[in-house]
Amino acid sequence: MGATRVFVPSDTTARSVGADAVAVAIQSAAEKNGSEIDLIRNGSRGLYWLEPLVEVEVDGRRLAYGPVGAGDIASLFDANFLAGGDHPRALGATEEIPWLAGQTRLTFARVGIVDPRSLDDYIAHGGYEGLGEAVKLQRAEIVEIVTESGLRGRGGAAFPTGIKWNTVLGAEGEQKYVTCNADEGDSGTFADRMIMESDPFLLIEGMTIAGLAVGATQGYIYLRAEYPLAIEIMNEAIASAHAAGYLGEDVAGSGQTFELEVRVAAGAYICGEETSMLESLEGKRGMIRYRPPLPAIKGLFGAPTIVNNVISLATVPIILAKGAGFYRDFGTGRSRGTLTVQLAGNVRQGGLVEVAFGRTLRELLEDFGGGTATGRPIRAVQAGGPLGAYVHPSKFDAPLDYEAFAEFGAMLGHGGLVVFDDTVDMAEQARFAMEFCAIESCGKCTPCRIGAVRGVEVIDRIRSDVDRGANIELLKELCETMVDGSLCALGGMAPYPVMSVLEYYPEDLGAD
């Protein structure tokens, strides 16, 4: 019998709760016991409430134990966990854990399963099948497949990815670029980080296909500095892909060049806005640009540029591999395929839930989330990041669907859900939305730069009961001005959480 394969996740969250110490303890216990093991540092399966989640492969099946602390290792060896022995931490076969079995993992098919630092492992699990299809196609055919799939961007606008690509394909220009917005700055989101840390070749493959589709020879991943591990793993993966001929000249025998580079951001939230990101990539202050021209026509260094999110690009390979219809058949209405929901904040079972569009918010929060971590009732859920509305429990039967959320002034966006229990002070949350906007405003337009500062002041006056009625009216008018008058989504959407507090939690602002 060969060495038993043992998997200990190495993504940021698993490590943040002690996975490295667990790996060290398993290795040294195995040496002491004379057990032959092959310790693999996989990515995380995204069952974050069970991290560190250790898996052992027994008879070709992976069995899970979690959450495992370094202090559990001795008793795990005593229970003979290397042969699947029973233990209080035993969770059975990983794939059969209901939380995971109830998901539809398309984009995240390999995440947590493979060793993210191994190109061979990626290929052994179906990696580069999408690119293999793409090299057989004409450019317009690739774009057509992406359009047909119904894939939409995961930003606030939910813009169809294929239409964007088609604009870049049709734009005049000797040099074109593919840029990936990996400045995942929104609280409650970690799906991009998971892809980059747990399945980095997937993003590389998606960007390579984008490059082939529009004739771009250079790609950039604009990656936030707050993700040091993702930066390290992405750079390593790019080097491996390059060495194997999946990047560089004549990519995978296509005859086309595609080079890829990571550019590290520097902690400005506004650089998640696409034009600001392009300015930053050009080495400037991240000030947003007027639109038009669209980045698809005049983007990076004035050239036609694709700007896509990590999840959009990482979903392209499976669409090419399995066909547009395969992806489009999941979902509801105009929201096709899957959404990678991120359950975050005060939630008992937090983590990554990839499901087809159409499931209700309540299913996510209760069935997957299991309610709050504190055991208290849920009072509010902020959806779509710091610029998204606070969703009141009366809306929890809404389906996960871009249009359905927009109907009550909320944004589904990237699917980040931050849960708050009933101890939350919604006036304080409203104030934070304005405070954050004031800190992060690029300063180009007045409604955002000045409005956010005034917003904090007005909310402070309301909270200290100074001329409350008049100040509430003033706050509403200020929100309207910012929404209508700001140049980009920062000033234009920061009022959304504030307006949701005004509408659904007026009692926290002292209204009668």
Residue ranges in contact with another protein by CB under 8 A = 12-13, 15-17, 48-49, 51, 184-190, 192-193, 225-229, 263-269, 280, 283-286, 342-347, 350-351, 373, 382, 386, 416, 418-421, 424, 429, 432, 436, 440, 442
Output 142 or 288, the one with its CB closest to another protein. Answer: 288
Shortest Å distance, C-beta 18 to another protein: 9
Distance CA 263, CA 384 (A): 25
Shortest Å distance, C-beta 432 to another protein: 7
Output 321 or 426, the one with its CB closest to another protein. Answer: 426
Shortest Å distance, C-beta 191 to another protein: 9
Output 193 or 463, the one with its CB closest to another protein. Answer: 193
Shortest Å distance, C-beta 284 to another protein: 7
Shortest Å distance, C-beta 310 to another protein: 11
Output 220 or 327, the one with its CB closest to another protein. Answer: 220
Shortest Å distance, C-beta 363 to another protein: 18
- Residue 64's DSSP bridge partners are 55, 92
Coil, strand, or helix at residue 389? coil
Coil, strand, or helix at residue 201? helix
Phi, psi of 460 (to 5 degrees): -60, -40
Output 182 or 319, the one with its CB closest to another protein. Answer: 182
Distance CA 10, CA 14 (A): 6
Task: Return contacts of 322-327, CB within 8 angstroms, 24+ apart.
Answer: 323/145, 324/145, 324/146, 324/147, 324/148, 324/149, 324/150, 325/148, 327/106, 327/149, 327/150, 327/151
Q: Is-contact 189 196, C-beta < 8 A?
A: no
Distance CA 231, CA 241 (A): 15
Shortest Å distance, C-beta 40 to another protein: 21
For residue 398, give the nearest of 365, 420, 427, 352 by alpha carbon.
Answer: 365
Output 67 or 160, the one with its CB closest to another protein. Answer: 67
Distance CA 245, CA 485 (A): 48
Distance CA 249, CA 486 (A): 43
Output 30 or 387, the one with its CB closest to another protein. Answer: 387
